[in-house]
């Protein structure tokens, strides 16, 4: 899927099967990717992925 993240294109895919979760994302304009694989059925992956992008974009803006 392609999402708009603060005006930037974010290519993202996430999924799960019993006992496992995964998130994969790439921000082409910044050449930055993110992968999280979990051996658990926890929803923690949702907040962790969102927090990663929040912190990354904050730092990227500060470094400009």
Q: Where are the alpha helices (DSSP H) in 1-64?
A: 44-62
For the chain, domain boundaries: 2-62
In angstroms, the CA 3 to CA 20 distance is 24
Q: Which long-range contacts (CB under 8 A, 24 or more apart) does 21-26 make?
A: 21/45, 23/49, 25/49, 25/53
pLDDT at position 32, please? 97
Residuewise pLDDT in 10s, the chain (64 residues): 999 999 999 999 999 999 999 999 999 999 999 999 999 988 899 999 999 999 999 999 898 7
pLDDT at position 12, please? 98
In angstroms, the CA 10 to CA 6 distance is 10
Residues facing residue 4 across a β-bridge:
9
């Amino acid at each position: 899927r392609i999402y708009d993240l603060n005006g930037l294109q974010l290519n993202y895919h996430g999924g799960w099967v019993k006992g496992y979760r995964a998130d994969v994302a790439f921000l082409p304009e910044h050449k930055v990717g993110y992968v999280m694989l979990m051996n658990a059925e926890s929803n923690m992956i949702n907040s962790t992925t969102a927090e990663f992008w929040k912190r990354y974009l904050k730092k990227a803006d500060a470094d400009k």
